[in-house]
Structure 1
C-alpha cells in the first residue's frame, strides 16, 4: 500500500483551519480561554509560528495514524505482508477486487467521527479529570477533535 502524503498533509492542515474557526472568540474561543485559564496576556508571550508548526507536525502524526483506521485496505495489506508461506498474489487479487471499496469521503468521515468520539474525546476527558478541568472544557476540546477527526478521515479516505 502506498501512502497518500498529499492527503495526509491536507488532513493535517485542516486541523488549523478548524481550529481557527472553533477557537474564534465568536464561537468557543472565549469560553475555552475562561475554562482553560488562558488569558490574552499569556497568549501574546508565545511564539505562535513555533506553536503552529508543532501543531501541524502533531496533526500529521495523527493523520498518519488515522489512515490505518479509515482505510480498510491497510488491514488486508498488513495481514499478508511479511507473512511466511502466504502467496503474494492474495493481496493483489484482493486489491483488484476490493481496491477502492469504501474509499470515499463519506466512509472516511464515518470512521473519523467514531475515532473522535471513542479515542480523542476520552483522551481529552481523562486528562481533564486529572487537571481538574470543567466539563465545558472537555466538550469544547473534545468536540474540536470529533469534528477534526471527521474531516481528517474524510480527506484521507476520500482522496484516492
Structure 2
C-alpha cells in the first residue's frame, strides 16, 4: 500500500456516491416500503427522526469506508476492473456482517438482502470510482 497513490478527490466522490446509491436504493421506487415494513417503521416516525444525525454519521462512515477501500487499492497496478472487483468483495464482506447480526436480531431475509445489497452496490461503485480515477 502506497498512501501517496490515494486520490483524495476520488475518495470524496466515492463517499458521495454512497449517498446517491442510498437515495435511490431506499427510495419508494425501489425498497423504501419493504424496508419500512420489515423494520416496523412508519413515515411519521421517519419524518420525526433526527435527520441531521443520520445524514451526518452516514457522511462520516461513508468517508471512512472510501478511505479504507482507497488504502487497499493504493497500488500502481490498480485498474478500473481491479477497483470494481475489490469494491465488490468488500461489499460481500459487509453483506456477511450485516447478515450475521441481522439473523441474531431476528430480521427477515428480505431486510438482510435489502441492506446487504446496498452495501454490495455502494462498495462496488466506490471501487469502480477509485480504480478508474487514478
Decide: shared fold, TM above 0.5: yes
Distance in 2 between the 1:56 and 1:155 partners?
17
Q: Which has the larger radius of gyration?
A: 1
CA RMSD in angstroms, aligned pairs only:
1.3
Question: Which ranges in structure 1 are unaligned for 5 or more consecutive residues?
Answer: 74-98
Distance in 2 between the 1:20 and 1:113 partners?
19
1:39 aligns with 2:42: yes
How far is 1:120 from its partner? Answer: 0.7
1:53-76: CA deviation from partner (whole Å, max 9, x where unpaired): 21011011111111233x262xxx
Distance in 1 between the 2:8 and 2:71 partners?
13
- Aligned residue for 2:64? 61
Q: Please, what TM-score do these two structures have when normalized by structure 2? A: 0.90
1:122 aligns with 2:96: yes
Tell me the matched-pair count.
Answer: 131
Q: What secondary structure sits across from 1:144 in the alignment?
A: helix
Query: Residues 90-109 of structure 1: matches in 2 within 5 Å?
Result: 99=76, 101=77, 103-109=78-84
Q: What secondary structure sits across from 2:95 in the alignment?
A: helix
How far is 1:157 from its partner? Answer: 1.9
How far is 1:106 from its partner? Answer: 2.3
Instruction: Please list every run of at least 4 consecutive aligned residues from structure 1 whose deviation after the TM superposition is greater than 3 angstroms.
Output: none
